[in-house]
Amino acid sequence: MCGIVAYIGHRQAYPVIIKGLKRLEYRGYDSAGVALLNHGMKLYKKKGKVAALEETTLGQDLEGNIGIGHTRWATHGEPSDRNAHPHVSANGRLAMIHNGIIENYALLKQELVKKGYKFHSDTDTEVLLNFIEDIQKNNESTLEEALRIALKRVVGAYVIVLIDRDNPGTLIAARKGSPLVIGIGKGEHFLASDASPIIEYTKEVVYVNDYEIAIIKPDELILKNLGNERQTPFIQKLDLELAAIEKGGYDHFMLKEIFEQPSTIYDCLRGRLDVTQGTITMSGIQNNIDKIKNANRILIVACGTSWHAGLIAEYIIEELCRIPVEVEYASEFRYRNPVIHKGDMIIAISQSGETADTLVALENAKEQGAVILGIVNVVGSSIARLSHAGAYTHAGPEIGVASTKAFTAQLTVLTMVALMIAKERNAITHERYLHLLEELNDVPEKVKQVLGTAEHIQKVALKYKDVKDALYLGRGYNFPVALEGALKLKEISYIHAEGYPAAEMKHGPIALVDELLPVVFVATRDAYYEKIISNIQEIKARKGKVIAVITEADETITGMADDVLPVPEADELIAPIISTIPLQLFSYYIGVARGYDVDKPRNLAKSVTVE
Ligand code: G6P
């Protein structure tokens, strides 16, 4: 969380930084700020979104070819002007932006307070900055040396970028745990939390590694480790187009991303699934297939929506491959000393590839000898790099904070992985294998059909836009779809929503049911169909309102429910990819109708790089 942008070169830094910060707002948007160097330092900070910062700077002196900017997701200290970054050191010489958390900041602060330092914010960032300044002053060292000494004492995660008023030709950055990309231009460099602020200027980038310090001048990039040894920057070519990170005529990124799903799922299948040949080709999996197919147990580790994809994968892998699967919240897994056996395989699922809990959980598991398979969307991200093997989801940049297209791409990849393993283990009949290949191949078209019913979904959504609570129920493969539906509603409409296994509802949530409570059933035709009909009746008998995602032309449930959201028929194993679409749109339309910023819901951030 928090987005950072910095620039050094021949352009004016301010417009580059502001535009970049807008692209990174998905990472945090409670305050923003910028510091520029041009015959001294200029600093502008404002509570609120980047647009509020822009207003503050109208008519101000914004000259300067070097600058740093930040959009914040608060950790230490409330969102406010004074807690916004950049922070300036006590002697006014240094300014710094930071993404991450300095865990031992309280101790460092005590030491600095004893030395007479005063603090103007509640942030851990200002502490680290003054700690660096203090070392620089006492040792009469260069900023680079001071930073190196300081970082050896720092516990936590960070990307930091510093400018020095007295040395306006250099930017200094360092990374541990949070992402940092450096774009290499002609006589200029761009720094950012991801590539989106960079791509319109250059496609050549360097992903900075943990424990590296970058010393950046307009025409020079030096990378060093904390031992002061030069590292060779590994320059990569970005495979990203500008159009992919713009709204393209849609009102919101979320809507654009929902509507992109036929093509993102197709992109995910393309070159991998061949129905005529009856094959799935994913080299990352194929090259490691022996380890994967012989795993005694699979542990799936993820957070948020990605965790829901993991739950569906659990059902699919156990069904098709007959390997036991456990799905873990990364935040729990990393701290509870989990038992990891030789021969266990970990599947990590992450859109961003940077989620701190997932990343650390994997680092721990890797140390204990687990094989890590990464299912990641962002190419070159930390989780992708840490994994032994993996498959990208190829959903393109997801900018709406609430995940949509990344989720369906994750399900698509996970299903293909399960099918590959099942085939290698001879756990699936050839007929069933071929049938599922065909079903997967049909998904983009079926998703398109669901999107064709958006107007109907909107009408239904508007009927329920003022409810206070909602319950989402499903069974089997559709149970995690219900969880994801409830999460989507919470995230963007701020309506309290709970997902539950439909049968489990009798053990508690049914007490909530009255004529005001909408209950959303994911009730497509599958092995649980008759059972879920009974659950619908139990709700109706208590006068609850029923909205049901059904297989199209299902007269039975249509006759019982208050509203239905039909989807095309699909094999139950594939159905979650399709039945999740109406729930995304349902939440979207409610969020918009309630007047909320669905792309940037309050308090949330897309890339959670703090634990
Ligand atoms: C945040 C996002 C969610 C996402 C979760 C996990 O909470 O708002 O949309 O599902 O992080 O992120 P990851 O990038 O690891 O999938």
Q: What is the pLDDT of residues 228-239, one digit of tens each?
A: 999 999 999 987
Q: Which of 148, 219, 234, 167 is nearest to 189 (CA)?
A: 219
Contact 305 CB / ligand 1 (< 6 Å): yes
Among this protein's residues, is 203 annotated catalytic? no
Q: What is the CATH number of domain 3-243?
A: 3.60.20.10
For 235, the enclosing helix (H) or strand (E) is strand 235-237
Select the CATH number that applies to the domain covering 249-441 from these four: 2.40.50.140, 3.20.20.10, 3.40.50.10490, 3.40.50.300.
3.40.50.10490
Spatial distance between the Cα atoms of 470 and 588, rounded to a whole number of angstroms:
15
Contact 401 CB / ligand 1 (< 6 Å): yes
Contact 608 CB / ligand 1 (< 6 Å): yes
Spatial distance between the Cα atoms of 384 and 562, rounded to a whole number of angstroms:
45
Residue nearest to atom 2 of ligand 1 (CA): 606
Contact 402 CB / ligand 1 (< 6 Å): yes
Domain extent listing, the chain: 3-243, 249-441, 452-599
CA of 209 to the centre of ligand 1 (A): 22
The answer to whether 249-441 and 452-599 have equal CATH topology is: yes
Pairing type for strands 171-176 and 189-192 reads unpaired
- Does residue 130 register a pLDDT over 80? yes
Residue nearest to atom 15 of ligand 1 (CA): 350
Cα angle, residue 381 at apex, residues 370 and 422 outer, rounded to 5° = 45
Pocket perturbation via mutation, ligand 1, pick of 27, 352, 410 by most ligand atoms within 8 A of CB = 352
Q: What is the pLDDT of residue 75?
A: 81
Residue nearest to atom 4 of ligand 1 (CA): 304
- Does residue 610 register a pLDDT over 80? no
Q: What is the pLDDT of residues 11-43, one digit of tens each?
A: 999 999 999 999 998 888 889 999 999 999 999
Compute and round to an integer the Cα radius of gyration of the chain.
25
Tokens representing 541? 């008998």
CA of 407 to the centre of ligand 1 (A): 10
Q: What is the pTM of this model?
A: 0.83
CA of 33 to the centre of ligand 1 (A): 25
- Does residue 429 register a pLDDT over 90? yes
Contact 478 CB / ligand 1 (< 6 Å): no
CA of 374 to the centre of ligand 1 (A): 15
> What architecture does CATH give domain 452-599?
3-Layer(aba) Sandwich (3.40)
CA of 607 to the centre of ligand 1 (A): 6
For 44, the enclosing helix (H) or strand (E) is strand 41-47
Spatial distance between the Cα atoms of 310 and 303, rounded to a whole number of angstroms:
9
Atom of ligand 1 nearest to the CA of 352: 14
Contact 301 CB / ligand 1 (< 6 Å): no
Q: What is the pLDDT of residues 247-297, one digit of tens each?
A: 888 999 999 999 999 999 999 999 899 999 999 999 989 998 988 999 999
- Percent of the chain topping pLDDT 90: 82
Q: What is the mean pLDDT of residues 557-576?
A: 97
| Banded model confidence at residue 85, pLDDT cuts 50, 70, 90 | very high
Spatial distance between the Cα atoms of 343 and 298, rounded to a whole number of angstroms:
9
Contact 65 CB / ligand 1 (< 6 Å): no
CA of 349 to the centre of ligand 1 (A): 10
Burial (CB count <10 Å: 0-12, 13-18, 19+), residue 425: middle
Q: Which of 42, 49, 446, 606 is catalytic?
A: 606
Contact 351 CB / ligand 1 (< 6 Å): yes
Among this protein's residues, is 459 annotated catalytic? no
Pocket perturbation via mutation, ligand 1, pick of 376, 608, 611 by most ligand atoms within 8 A of CB = 608
Read off the DSSP letter of residue 418. Answer: H
Contact 358 CB / ligand 1 (< 6 Å): yes
